[in-house]
């Protein structure tokens, strides 16, 4: 099989890649990693595949990639005939990139809060929650404006990689003690994403919405 | 449960509560589930399933029924339990009921009254007037700071401002009227649900300008 | 929260770690029943556990047992011993330790959720239950007075993919066993072998009244699956439950039967709450009962 994903079921970052693989109906081999308590991703062997010691890692026909956002771009670029997931038109391309960076950057505070609360990671939890709320507010403000323009998705008229990248850690926010009471536009967007064909939930995200 | 005051409080923009959705709302530290069936008005219930206490705001809607995500117990619009999936042939006893509160829609806003016997009238901001929804804001400041802050900022903008227990009405110099309904979330957070009428409310560009103005207001209130 | 004054819970053995949590020569701090403790790993299976005062200084040394992939201690003088679980000694079994998962709720909510089958179709959809097969058939509950344990037997539920080893749906039979207010396990029939059961345990470390760590050691008949897959499966199930557990209100367990409405499917929860009430617990309970 051409595509191999080094995966952990509970990882929201791995879930970003699994979502796109399902949306594109791609077959792939899954190499299950003992992330916790085994910390296999921090082993010397795994660091030969990704020196950052992080998941996911994707291998595809001789190309090896780390970073969920980069992997999303690779898969969309190579396999998405429709061009929907990574639009190339000048009005959209940069915006999708901007929100991909945000998903791998500011939004990851919600992932930190979840790792602290669920798996006992030692970090500043108050700062993580505060930063997560700040990021959620930015996304909710953007989606509020999109609602007024008659749009559902982060960029343009249909879902893109921006939506896939931003979905997991916002949907999993309560795992880190981050409620969504203050974000009505965000909640509507989460629900719309949940109803996409070929969508599958993961642990911490309700199957039914 | 402590006695709840007999007054109406706005908890959201009506158009933003999507059909088939269940949403979490906190009013003065009390958790509510605001949900809408596939067709019909919004319901406001205590955010707690009577079975094992699971929050109904996590539930899912099928038709006119809100189902708890834990065991799938289904509740109809009046709060009555209509289905217990573990016992598909059982008619649920009539005593199994969600805790239902009064809710109304007016001025494009969803209002609720948490009193056991609500007698108060809904706030009056003029009948027969069409209000355009702007947005909800969640301000990390206590209610009194927010109320005083709006007056200070908007009077500074040259608007005339009237405030009462539930709302602040801002008559802007350019002819727009903003109605801001106040929801105390808890001691340190206040929500504002904003609708508008008059000048500058018809096109999407104008509505976006109002949204940006409200984001600016939120920032100003949070530096108080 | 300060250390609880509930002498009933103080006299129980509770989990406070798993052996490989830290390396030999290292230690970590944690809490049980509001009491700060330090756990030092002195050797492969040797631990020194100490109470800590407010300044973080070591005080009284506490008893230790290492069994079932967990490190246990107690703040009191237990009359109830650690349970006997023979499956952990069978040489052909896969013994899996899944670390610990933090949960913000009362320990008894975790036990009850583990006993419950009616949520399989909604919380563990397409794994432990199917959306179109939600019925919970009648089962029996017992209070076994000789060991003072609550048991639920003859439990059955239709499952699409009940374990790593099974591929198609099957009627799975379960027995549940509550060994203490903080420990529970289930026996699940092994796919393809009626004579044996997988054993899956949950040991709850109650740090504060509504802050716990859950340990999930398992003794499984499953020669083929990779250990990473076995652990992944169990963690997947538990993180699905965790969202529920953290969003039940109140977090403290109500014992007043009027407050939460059970049905026949909740027979094990009813037996469990009655048993807790008879022990006169206060810690983690919504209605503080007089000692």
Check whether residue B186 and residue B101 sit in a common domain.
Answer: no
Average of per-residue pLDDT across C91-116: 97
Average of per-residue pLDDT across A25-44: 96
pLDDT of residue C165: 62
Q: Which domains does chain A have, with CATH numbers?
A: 3-79 (3.40.30.10), 93-194 (1.20.1050.10)
Q: Which residues contact A97 (CB under 8 A, 6 or more apart)?
A: none
Check whether residue B47 and residue B138 sit in a common domain.
Answer: no
pLDDT of residue B20: 97
Residue B24's nearest CA partner among B50, B52, B56, B49 is B56
A147–B24 C-beta distance less than 8 A: no
- In a domain? residue B79: yes
Q: Which of C119, C261, C269 sits opposite B70 (nearest CB)?
A: C119
The alpha-carbon gap from B20 to the nearest alpha carbon of chain A, in Å, equals 9
Number of domains, chain B: 2
Helix segments in chain C, DSSP class H? 7-10, 107-115, 120-123, 227-245, 267-278
- In a domain? residue B121: no
A208–B16 C-beta distance less than 8 A: no
User: For C237-285, how does the pLDDT look when each residue is reduced to its tens digit (9 = 90+)?
Assistant: 999 999 999 999 999 999 998 899 999 999 999 999 999 999 999 999 9
- In a domain? residue B124: no
C135–B51 C-beta distance less than 8 A: no
- pLDDT over 80 at A96, yes or no: yes
pLDDT of residue C168: 73
Report d(CA C44, CA C63) in Å as an integer. 17
Domain ranges of chain C: 85-278
**Site from C110, C121, C122, C262 to mutate, B interface, most B CB atoms within 10 angstroms:** C122
- Write down the pTM of the prediction: 0.96
> Predicted confidence band at C291 (pLDDT cuts at 50, 70, 90)?
very low
**Site from B29, B47, B67, B87 to mutate, C interface, most C CB atoms within 10 angstroms:** B87
Report d(CA A137, CA A132) in Å as an integer. 9
**Torsion sign across C-alpha atoms C269, C274, C279, C280:** positive
The alpha-carbon gap from C108 to the nearest alpha carbon of chain B, in Å, equals 12
* Chain centre distance of CA B224: 25
Check whether residue B81 and residue B33 sit in a common domain.
Answer: yes
- Taking contacts as CB-CB distances below 8 angstroms, the residues of chain B near A180 are 24
Q: Which of A145, A182, A188 sits opposite B211 (nearest CB)?
A: A145
Classify domain C85-278 at the CATH topology level.
Naphthalene 1,2-dioxygenase Alpha Subunit; Chain A, domain 1 (3.90.380)
Chains that touch C (3 or more CB pairs under 8 A): A, B
Check whether residue B14 and residue B100 sit in a common domain.
Answer: yes
- pLDDT over 90 at B3, yes or no: no
Backbone torsions φ then ψ of C255, nearest 5 degrees: -100, -15
Check whether residue B49 and residue B136 sit in a common domain.
Answer: no
**Share of residues in chain A with pLDDT > 90 (%):** 99
C21–A37 C-beta distance less than 8 A: yes
pLDDT of residue C164: 56
What average pLDDT does chain B have?
A: 95
C148 touches chain A (CB under 8 A): no
Which of B56, B85, B113 is the C-terminal boundary of a domain? B113
> Which of A104-113, A163-172, B84-93, B118-127 shows the lowest mean pLDDT across its residues?
B118-127
Residue in the structure block whose two tokens are 């198609």 = C168
Check whether residue B72 and residue B32 sit in a common domain.
Answer: yes
Average of per-residue pLDDT across C2-20: 96
Average of per-residue pLDDT across C85-110: 97
- pLDDT over 50 at C172, yes or no: yes
pLDDT of residue C290: 39
Which of B113, B140, B166 is the C-terminal boundary of a domain? B113
- Taking contacts as CB-CB distances below 8 angstroms, the residues of chain A near C242 are 118, 175, 203-204
Q: Which of A120, A206, A208 sits opposite C102 (nearest CB)?
A: A120
Length of chain B, in residues: 224
pLDDT of residue C162: 55
CATH number at residue B107: 2.102.10.10
Check whether residue B155 and residue B208 sit in a common domain.
Answer: yes
Residue B176 structural domain: 132-222
- pLDDT over 70 at C208, yes or no: yes
Check if the interface score ipTM surpasses 0.85.
yes
pLDDT of residue B193: 98
pLDDT of residue C166: 63
- pLDDT over 70 at C25, yes or no: yes
Which of B113, B144, B165 is the C-terminal boundary of a domain? B113
The alpha-carbon gap from A207 to the nearest alpha carbon of chain C, in Å, equals 7
pLDDT of residue B1: 47
CB atoms within 10 A of CB B130: 9
């Amino acid at each position: 099989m051409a595509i191999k994903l080094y995966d952990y079921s509970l990882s929201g970052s791995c879930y970003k890649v699994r979502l796109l693989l399902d949306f594109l109906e791609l077959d792939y081999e899954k190499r299950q990693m003992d992330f916790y308590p085994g910390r296999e991703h921090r082993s010397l062997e795994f660091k030969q595949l990704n020196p950052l010691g992080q998941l996911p890692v994707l291998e595809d026909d001789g190309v090896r990639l780390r970073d969920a956002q980069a992997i999303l771009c690779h898969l969309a670029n190579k396999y998405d005939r429709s061009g929907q997931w990574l639009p190339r038109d000048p009005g959209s391309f940069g915006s999708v990139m901007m929100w991909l960076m945000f998903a791998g950057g500011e939004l990851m505070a919600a992932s930190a809060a979840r790792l602290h609360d669920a798996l006992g990671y030692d970090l500043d939890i108050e700062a993580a929650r505060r930063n997560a709320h700040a990021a959620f507010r930015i996304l909710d403000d953007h989606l509020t404006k999109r609602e007024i323009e008659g749009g559902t998705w982060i960029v343009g008229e249909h879902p893109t990689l921006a939506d896939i990248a931003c979905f997991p850690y916002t949907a999993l926010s309560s795992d880190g003690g981050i409620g969504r009471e203050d974000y009505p536009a965000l909640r509507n967007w989460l629900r719309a994403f949940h109803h996409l064909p070929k969508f599958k939930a993961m642990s911490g995200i309700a199957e039914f919405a | 449960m402590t006695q709840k005051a007999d007054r109406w409080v706005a908890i959201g923009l009506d158009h933003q509560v999507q059909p088939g959705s269940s949403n979490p709302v906190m009013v003065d530290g009390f958790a509510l589930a605001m949900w809408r069936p596939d067709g019909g008005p919004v319901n406001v219930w205590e955010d707690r399933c009577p079975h094992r206490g699971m929050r109904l705001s996590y539930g899912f809607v099928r038709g006119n029924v809100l189902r708890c995500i834990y065991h799938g117990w289904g509740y109809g619009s009046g709060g009555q339990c209509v289905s217990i999936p573990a016992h598909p042939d059982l008619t649920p006893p009539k005593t199994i009921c969600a805790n239902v509160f009064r809710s109304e829609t007016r001025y494009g806003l969803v209002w609720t009254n948490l009193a056991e016997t609500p007698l108060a009238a809904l706030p009056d901001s003029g009948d027969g007037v069409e209000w355009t929804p702007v947005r909800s804001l969640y301000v990390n400041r206590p209610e009194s700071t927010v109320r005083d802050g709006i007056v200070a900022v908007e009077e500074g903008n040259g608007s005339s401002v009237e405030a009462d227990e539930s709302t602040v009405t801002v008559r802007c110099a350019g002819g727009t009227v903003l109605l801001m309904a106040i929801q105390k979330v808890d001691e340190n957070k206040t929500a504002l649900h904003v609708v508008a009428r008059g000048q500058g409310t018809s096109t999407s560009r104008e509505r976006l300008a109002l949204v940006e103005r409200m984001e600016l207001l939120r920032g100003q209130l949070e530096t108080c | 929260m300060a250390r609880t004054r509930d002498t009933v819970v103080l006299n129980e053995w509770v989990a406070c770690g798993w052996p490989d949590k830290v390396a030999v020569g290292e230690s970590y701090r944690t809490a049980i029943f509001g009491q700060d403790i330090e756990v030092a790993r002195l050797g492969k299976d040797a631990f020194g556990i100490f109470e800590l005062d407010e300044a973080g200084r070591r005080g009284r040394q506490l008893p230790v047992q290492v069994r079932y992939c967990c490190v246990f201690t107690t703040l009191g003088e237990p009359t109830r011993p650690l349970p006997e679980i023979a499956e952990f000694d069978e040489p052909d079994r896969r013994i899996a330790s899944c670390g610990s998962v933090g949960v913000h709720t009362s320990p008894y909510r975790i036990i009850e959720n583990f006993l419950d089958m009616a949520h399989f179709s909604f919380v563990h959809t397409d794994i432990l239950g199917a959306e179109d097969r939600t019925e919970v058939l009648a089962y029996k509950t017992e209070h076994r007075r000789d060991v003072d344990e609550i048991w639920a037997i003859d439990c059955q539920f239709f499952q699409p993919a009940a374990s790593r080893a099974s591929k198609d749906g099957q009627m799975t039979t379960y027995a549940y066993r509550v060994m203490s207010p903080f420990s529970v396990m289930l026996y699940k029939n092994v796919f393809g072998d009626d004579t044996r059961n997988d054993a899956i345990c949950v040991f709850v470390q109650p740090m504060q009244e509504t802050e716990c760590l859950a340990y999930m050691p398992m003794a499984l008949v499953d020669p083929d699956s990779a250990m990473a897959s076995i652990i992944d499966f169990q963690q997947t199930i538990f993180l699905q439950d965790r969202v529920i557990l953290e969003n039940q209100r109140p977090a403290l367990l109500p014992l007043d039967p009027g407050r939460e409405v059970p049905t026949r499917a909740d027979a094990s929860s009813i037996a469990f709450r009655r048993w807790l009430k008879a022990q006169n617990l206060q810690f983690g309970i919504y209605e503080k009962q007089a000692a």
